[in-house]
A and B are shown apart, each in its own frame.
Chain A
Amino acid sequence: MGKTIHISPLSRIEGHANIDIQLDDNGEVASATTHFNSIRGFEKYVQGKPAEEVTRIVTRICGICPWHHHLSSTKAVDACFGANVAPAGHMLRECMQNMAHINDKILHFYFLAAPDFIMGPDADYKVRNVIGIAQAAPELAKKVIKMRQLGQMMMEKFAGKVIHPIAAVPGGFSKPMSDSQRKELIESTKTLLDFATFSMAHAKENIFPAYMDDVTTLGSITTGFIGTVDYHGALNFYDGNIRLMMIDGSFQDFNDADYLDYIAEHVEPTSYGKFPYAKSWNQGFSMDIDNPKGVYRSNCLARLNTCDHISTPLAQAELEAFREQFGRPAQHTLLYHWARLIELVYACEKTLELLMDTAICGKETRFEVSPKAGRGVGHVEAPRGTLIHDYTTDENGLIEKANMIVGTTHNLAPISMSVEQSAKMLIKDGHVDETILNKVEMSVRAYDP
């Protein structure tokens, strides 16, 4: 056997993973394995905890997308306790859910992914980062940092904490929004929407065209997709059916409470993280890059593929143009970044739509609930994909059993496959350099920080 290359840690992503590439005697890639190395055990240690407390424990699954865990968990507890949600509380939760998507997409696109495009995949690692962008394009960097900060602080100011939130509670939301807060948030969201449309136009003109060869080849695999759609088939981050789409574009819609009929998790000996796959396709599971079985993808590209349309006008126009160019379902992995910017536009538009409705300022934001025995499944679309929390409570409302399938987990199989595909495509005759290895990582960054 030839040499082994350890890429560790995978960087400019959220989470803990590394790649081992094994070359054969001829310098060709014999194997490329992605190890997902993090295991913390939330499913186990929420056992015995009061369910209403768990909604503020599971936020620590991810510091980048804590709102989505918070909301998905709260929905699961609502279901366990049979809680009705106060209408204003529902609107506030949905508003926070969409706002959190705005900040995440700015972070992912500009801080984590864009250095590969703005500085170039071949730039020295010392400048191929947001600090390098701050030196090379100070005006752009300043704008990006200001916009992300605006998004983060508008949430913190209203909801108390932006990282590891606490304001969603079983039965609703912990506090009402005043009309002056609403007006202030509308102004900030308008600023963010301007930035979103600027980002979309800027990337379409200056960033994506220069990398179309990479976009159509790097990490390319063919899979199914998963995402949430509302009851009219439109993209929705907060509520609706889960849609599981096969490679040919046909799909099944199901209620989150029935997820066990559609999704199962496979265990590989090389990763702590489990690999969800489409059980309902009845093909089993295989990560063979030429003939995958049961593999589907989540996150923004998946959501744009699964939805029939988008309910907000600017994002819908972008979706139509995107579909005209790349079809439905679009498969190229680097298109995730393009899809991410379309979702940034949507998240801003949707947040504005919610804030424009004065019903969001309703004084009663929370109905009282009583802890009791039950089972509840809650799901939302986290930036990285469909996020499912499934709890069973005892008669005191303490957690007896918990299962969670987080957004990124759906993508562990596709990430592993994209890594193998890009390594095999790029490493030839034993030739490896930093640019090649960074391009292998770019096929991960499309899916996931």
Chain B
Amino acid sequence: MPVKVANEWLNSCSGCEIAILNLGETLLDLLPQIEFVHIPVLMDHKHYGQLGEKREIDIPKATVGLLSGGLRNEEHLEVAHEMRKKCDILIALGTCATHGGIPALINSFTNDEFLEYYYSTDSTEPGAKIPDQGISPLLDRCYALDEKIDVDIYLPGCPPHPDQIATAILALLNGETPDLPFKSVCDTCPAIRKGKGNITTIKRFTENPEYDPDKGIDEMRCLLEQGYLCAGPVTRAGCAGNDGDAPRCISARVPCRGCYGPVRQDGNQLLDMLNALASNGIDITSIPDRSSLLRFSGAHNRLVPSIKGDK
């Protein structure tokens, strides 16, 4: 009997679902073993019945639930509760679901501040009223899933690498708990670290680091040691998949910005990074926007309107 799988996307961009599709032929190989019962990106199962006649959201029962995106409005909350009720094992898929992700940057502002701004941009008709009919009211902020419902497995990543999605699904098909890495990005980065340098301030990424494009990452000096802010030390590894490649951003010679969230689920990328920099004698006031260190993990009350000023 194939294992039933349900997927929903909440306050998300659909990147996690595209990562599922990026399994490519692996997905084809998995198909005989799984049966999607609800996955809006691919199939037309409806919340309110196929003829739209029901009054309450109804998602079919599934063994595995993949839930991407954080919680931003009441509909998200309703769908998340229904998924929790109907799925035996619920996976928080992607960094929005595990830590709020980029959309949790909104937690630096109140809803009023944000809505007033959005409905009065230069291109918006003057005097526009904020929409309020037939759309789901906003929650007070953007939440990670486990702030409102129980989560069984955390699969961070923006988006998670397809290898890890496959690892998780295959483990669950075999009745096992997925074994996901708890290393930092630095632990998997082949760049040369000498552990010493004369860096006292952080450079902005408006110029390229030094490297020889004809040589591998293992012959490039660590970007942090070159003075570029790189969130590798405080970010969970995994973006390169299972093949042992260099972290994805580093492979493009660009510093890590922390998209897998903290190394440990309850870690704090901002505090950990500031500690790491300060203990190496680096002036943390040289970072132009420190709250950006929580760019991917601003849920769980880590970003609140009162710290929006940053400096």
Spell out A's residues near B (CB within 8 Å). Answer: 3-12, 14-16, 20-21, 33, 35-41, 43-45, 48-50, 52-53, 56-57, 60-64, 66, 81, 107, 111-112, 125-126, 128-131, 134, 141-142, 145-146, 148-149, 152-153, 156, 159-164, 166-167, 169-171, 174-176, 178, 259-260, 263-272, 274, 276, 363, 365-366, 368-371, 390, 396-398, 403, 405, 432-434, 437-438, 441, 449
B125 touches A266 (CB 8 A): yes
Q: B256-277 toward A: CB 8 Å interface, digit per residue (1/0)?
A: 0101000000000000000000
The interface residues of chain A lying within 8 Å CB-to-CB of B133 are: 269-270
* Among A6, A145, A264, contact of B123 (Cβ-Cβ < 8 Å): A264
* Among B14, B113, B123, contact of A403 (Cβ-Cβ < 8 Å): B123
Interface residues of B in 11-56 (CB under 8 A from A): 11-19, 21-22, 24-25, 27-28, 31, 36, 40-48, 50-53
Complexed CA–CA distance, A55 and B124 (Å): 23
The interface residues of chain A lying within 8 Å CB-to-CB of B134 are: 20, 33, 35, 270
A269 touches B44 (CB 8 A): no
B103 touches A60 (CB 8 A): yes
Known: A5-B53, A12-B42, A164-B158. A50 touches B288 (CB 8 A): yes
B21 touches A267 (CB 8 A): no
Min C-beta distance of B42 to chain A, whole Å: 5
A267 touches B42 (CB 8 A): no
Asked whether any CB of chain A lies closer than 8 Å to the CB of B101, the reply is yes
The interface residues of chain A lying within 8 Å CB-to-CB of B41 are: 11-12, 14, 112, 449
Min C-beta distance of B1 to chain A, whole Å: 16
Q: What are 13 contact pairs spanning A and B, CB under 8 A?
A: A7-B46, A43-B118, A128-B44, A130-B42, A131-B31, A148-B21, A159-B252, A264-B125, A265-B123, A274-B119, A371-B204, A371-B206, A390-B122
Q: What are the 3 A-B residue pairs with the smallest beta carbon separation, nearest first?
A: A63-B15, A160-B252, A149-B24
B43 touches A128 (CB 8 A): yes
Min C-beta distance of B283 to chain A, whole Å: 16
The interface residues of chain A lying within 8 Å CB-to-CB of B249 are: 160-161, 166
The interface residues of chain B lying within 8 Å CB-to-CB of A371 are: 204, 206
Min C-beta distance of B84 to chain A, whole Å: 18
Known: A41-B114, A111-B42. A8 touches B122 (CB 8 A): no
A45 touches B43 (CB 8 A): no
* Among B9, B52, B113, B248, contact of A160 (Cβ-Cβ < 8 Å): B248
Among B104-112, B144-152, B169-177, B189-197, the stretch in contact with A: B104-112
Interface residues of B in 153-181 (CB under 8 A from A): 158-159
The interface residues of chain A lying within 8 Å CB-to-CB of B289 are: 48-50, 53, 398
B25 touches A12 (CB 8 A): no
Complexed CA–CA distance, A329 and B248 (Å): 43
A35 touches B135 (CB 8 A): yes
Min C-beta distance of A109 to chain B, whole Å: 14
Known: A45-B108, A53-B289, A267-B124. A7 touches B52 (CB 8 A): yes
B213 touches A160 (CB 8 A): no
B13 touches A60 (CB 8 A): yes
B105 touches A45 (CB 8 A): yes
Known: A5-B53, A43-B121. A369 touches B206 (CB 8 A): yes
Using CB atoms, name the residue of chain B closest to A396.
Answer: B288
A64 touches B18 (CB 8 A): yes
The interface residues of chain A lying within 8 Å CB-to-CB of B11 are: 38, 40
Complexed CA–CA distance, A408 and B305 (Å): 30
* Among B53, B123, B208, contact of A263 (Cβ-Cβ < 8 Å): B123
B288 touches A398 (CB 8 A): yes
Min C-beta distance of B13 to chain A, whole Å: 4
Total number of A-B contacts with CB less than 8 angstroms?
A: 268
Complexed CA–CA distance, A268 and B52 (Å): 24
B13 touches A44 (CB 8 A): no
- Central interface residue in A126, A371, A397, A432, by most chain B CB within 10 Å: A126
The interface residues of chain A lying within 8 Å CB-to-CB of B75 are: 37
B72 touches A160 (CB 8 A): no
Known: A267-B131, A268-B131. A164 touches B159 (CB 8 A): yes
Min C-beta distance of B109 to chain A, whole Å: 6
B138 touches A152 (CB 8 A): no
Complexed CA–CA distance, A228 and B28 (Å): 37
Using CB atoms, name the residue of chain B closest to A369.
Answer: B206
Complexed CA–CA distance, A5 and B288 (Å): 51
Known: A11-B46, A159-B252, A269-B131. A111 touches B207 (CB 8 A): no
Using CB atoms, name the residue of chain B closest to A441.
Answer: B44
The interface residues of chain B lying within 8 Å CB-to-CB of A434 are: 50-51
- 4 extra interchain contacts, Cβ-Cβ under 8 A, other than A44-B106, A259-B123? A45-B114, A50-B288, A129-B43, A148-B21
Known: A11-B46, A50-B289. A267 touches B25 (CB 8 A): no
The interface residues of chain B lying within 8 Å CB-to-CB of A390 are: 122
B73 touches A50 (CB 8 A): no
The interface residues of chain B lying within 8 Å CB-to-CB of A265 are: 121, 123-125
B206 touches A368 (CB 8 A): yes
Asked whether any CB of chain A lies closer than 8 Å to the CB of B63, the reply is no
Q: B274-302 toward A: CB 8 Å interface, digit per residue (1/0)?
A: 00000000000000110010010000000
Complexed CA–CA distance, A265 and B120 (Å): 10
